[in-house]
Amino acid sequence: MSKTDDIIKREISRIGNYKNLKMRYFVGSSNYDQELWCDGGLTFGYNGYIYGSNDFAWYRDEPWEHEFTGKTVNQKPIIVVEGTHCLNTKSYGTAQLQRFHHAYGAFLNNIISVYYLKEGKHPIRHDLLLAAYNASKYHRGLGNKGAYIVTDQIDELDKLVKLVGDFGEDSTEVQTYIEELLDNMKLRFYEHFERNFLDKGKNFEDYLFKRAVIKTGKGHWVKFLGPRKDSIVDPSIRYGHIVLGEAYVTKYLLKEIEVEDFIYFFPLMSKKDIEEITATLTSDKEWLLLTNSADWTIVSLDEIDFEDKTLTSGIIPFRTLNLNDNRKEWNVYRKRIAENIKAGKYNYI
């Protein structure tokens, strides 16, 4: 068993209680953070589904109804934080995405939510910054009173807590600061986008292609690389968390060009695989969120009829082959999948 990120909670806890804001967090081997907020934990549900647990929160002693359960408690969550130090470890890549849905669940409940990735050797992913920015803008535009902030600066979190404690979360001071943080997130994305795409004559669709997201010849938007069955069912890999994070990030990247939904293509899974996983992971939060979203449709290999029949038969062995050992061969098929989808050379079955 390993315990990680206690040290990040410790760092955050040094901000302390402030004015009428009190801290809630758990260190050590307890799993209390996985309880719902109204049961004393750091987890939130929304629209029938439970999202990932968080690491930290500030709350005020006043009534709050968790719509998910209909329960009212006397601690109102004001700022919720999911923290990680992955930017200074080897798990700095797609692992950044695996926690997206944690603070996101709190955000959907109109709470100021912060995904804090402690500053390290590696930067915050640019797609994560834009996705959280777009999520904030989209939902705040619909009346959400929270925000989804992504930051690597503990000072920004500290300032946010102090402003909320001094002026209240609905105050002009806090809302102005939130907008400043959001603008900063977008700026950081655009600095990367400008340098690596615009300056090279490329556009946002080219950026999305790098994220395995393309517009097909039939007008669909498709994220064309999904997981294998074994990576979902193996709990030590936690790949389901990453796939879910990829789905949410894709959803909100597409908001940049006003696309409302997309297809998540799982070429390395059959429909039967998906059914078997569903029958096994009956209470797995991440799988439930992934397979019940209104914002994307999961499509397996046997639900797509490629015009090039050799493509389908060629993909199947990669369901069980070691992809690292067969990277060169798999890359050929990835390219063919992308080309055929982009050209619209497929039909739904």
Partner 1 sequence: MFKGEFDLKYTTENIINTLTKNLGFSVVDDAFLGTLVELNNYDAYKYCVITGQGYLKEDEPEKRFILTRDYFRVFNQAMEYELQFGIFDEKNISLFETPHIHIEQFPRIIEGSKFIAFVEYKNNKDLLKKLDDIIQYIKEKGDEPGDYIICPVRLGKLVDFEPFFEYVVTEIFNRMGYITDNQIPFFYGVGTPDCAVYELDNLVSSLSQYTGLNGFSIFELSLVNTPLAKFKIKHTPLERINNFNAMVGEVKTGSVDGSQIKKYIDREIFDEAVEIIPHKKDISEYAGLINFNEDGKVVFNMLRKQKVDKFSQESYINWLIDYMKYYILASYTDEEFIFFKDKYKLNSINFVEEINRIDIVDLASIVYK
| Residues near partner 1 (CB under 8 A) | 1-8, 10-11, 22-30, 32, 35, 39-41, 85, 88-90, 118-121, 236
CB of 121 to partner 1, least distance (A): 8
CB of 6 to partner 1, least distance (A): 4
> Could you give the CA distance from residue 181 to residue 113 in angstroms, rounded to a whole number?
12
Q: How far is CA 61 from the centre of its chain?
A: 30
Tokens of 65: 């109804």
CB of 7 to partner 1, least distance (A): 5
Give the nearer residue to partner 1 in terms of CB position, either 41 or 226: 41
Q: How far is CA 328 from the centre of its chain?
A: 29
Give the nearer residue to partner 1 in terms of CB position, either 85 or 228: 85
CB of 1 to partner 1, least distance (A): 6
Give the nearer residue to partner 1 in terms of CB position, either 85 or 251: 85
Give the nearer residue to partner 1 in terms of CB position, either 59 or 148: 59
Tokens of 163: 């402003």
Pairing of strands 147-151, 112-117: parallel
- Burial, 298: exposed, middle or buried (Cβ in 10 Å; 0-12, 13-18, 19+)? buried
Give the nearer residue to partner 1 in terms of CB position, either 8 or 157: 8
CB of 263 to partner 1, least distance (A): 31
